[in-house]
Amino acid sequence: MPHSALITPGHNRSPVLIHVPHASRVIPLEIRSDLLLTDVELAAELDEATDTATDEIAAAALRHSSLRPTTVVNTLSRLVIDPERFPDAGEPANAFGRGAVYTRTCAGAPLRTEPYPRAADLLDTYFRPYADAVTAAVDDRLDVCGRAVIIDLHSYPAAPSGFEDPAAERPALCIGADPVHTPDWLIDTVRSAFASLPAIDRIAENTPYAGSYVPLRHYGRDERVSSAMIELRRDLYLTDPCTPDGARISQLGRVLADLIDAITAQVAADV
């Protein structure tokens, strides 16, 4: 079954996998017809929900990293399915209509009919094939390198969305950490790489977002898989909600490349 994961293989000695799940604005027409928004409303929702240009930051990093990492980019919008949610009733974001298949907008307005009758179809058609593709990419790094380190690349708006805690701190860089899959050395390495940027005046962990993506097949089961989420506040590199600043993209790409190289060196020293 086809999937929306665009996978670019990395160097055989790189354990790093850059995951970019929310950069796309693409929505297939058959899915667009079920969305309860006008075109103007949908454009505004995409501005707020899309991690604009995170794929460009990843691409910039590839040009500067010593050993090219594997990259996995979701080519469809998170309004199709969100590959980073749990696909069952245990997903906390279901409470505000933002589970694997969204039924509410960022502001809490209706996005799809509730209950949405095609949710299971979207999970079978899009969510599970995507998850299988990412899992296979992680398995490949484990087979080749013995370790896999996922950098889960995101961004978020300076002002909180309707479903977020308005009191949560919104630093320039949020590092999302998982209690099992994010070792201290990885947090320290991320901090060290991004602290070199003057624009990043505050780095915090697990605020306003927490955790980091690990495929379900490995989650809680394989400690050879490490993961850290990078959440960049969008005013660092966007001039408006959907327009990236090329110079800032390039600068962030170089810092991300430094992080990739540092992770690769750390893993090589540990093996």
pLDDT in tens, 213-229: 999 999 999 999 999 99
Q: Residue 115, preceding bond cis, omega within 30 degrees?
A: yes
In sequence order, what are the residues at sequence separation of 6 or more whose Cβ sits closer than 8 angstroms to the Cβ of residue 248? Answer: 199, 236, 237
Q: What is the pLDDT of residue 3?
A: 83
Q: Kindly tell me if the per-residue pLDDT of 47 is higher than 90.
A: yes
* Cα angle: 12, vertex 263, 232; to 5 degrees: 115
User: Does the predicted TM-score (pTM) go above 0.75?
Assistant: yes
Tokens encoding 56: 């460009």
Is 90 exceeded by the pLDDT of residue 252?
A: yes
Q: Contact 57/237 with Cβ under 8 angstroms?
A: yes
Over the chain, what is the mean pLDDT? 96
Give the type of residue at 5. A
R_g of the chain, CA atoms, integer Å: 18
Fold held by 5-84+121-270:
Aminopeptidase (3.40.630)
Token match 């889960």: residue? 152
Contact 119, 101 (CB under 8 A): yes
Which has the closest alpha carbon to 67: 19, 17, 14? Answer: 14
- Assess contact for 181 and 221: CB atoms under 8 A: no
Judged against a pLDDT cut of 80, whether residue 2 lies above it is answered with: no
> Residue 242: is its pLDDT beyond 70?
yes
What is the amino acid identity at position 120? A
Place of tokens 């991690």: 51
Residue 49 has pLDDT above 60, yes or no: yes
- Side-chain-facing half-sphere of 112: CA atoms under 13 Å: 22
When pLDDT is averaged across residues 4-18 and rounded to a whole number, the result is: 97
Per-residue confidence (pLDDT) for residue 270, from 0 to 100: 86
The stretch 229-237 carries a mean pLDDT of 97
pLDDT exceeds 60 at position 43: yes
Answer whether 70's CB lies under 8 Å from 7's CB. Answer: yes
Tell me the per-residue pLDDT of 190-221, one tens digit each, with 9 for 90 and over: 999 999 999 999 999 999 999 999 999 999 99
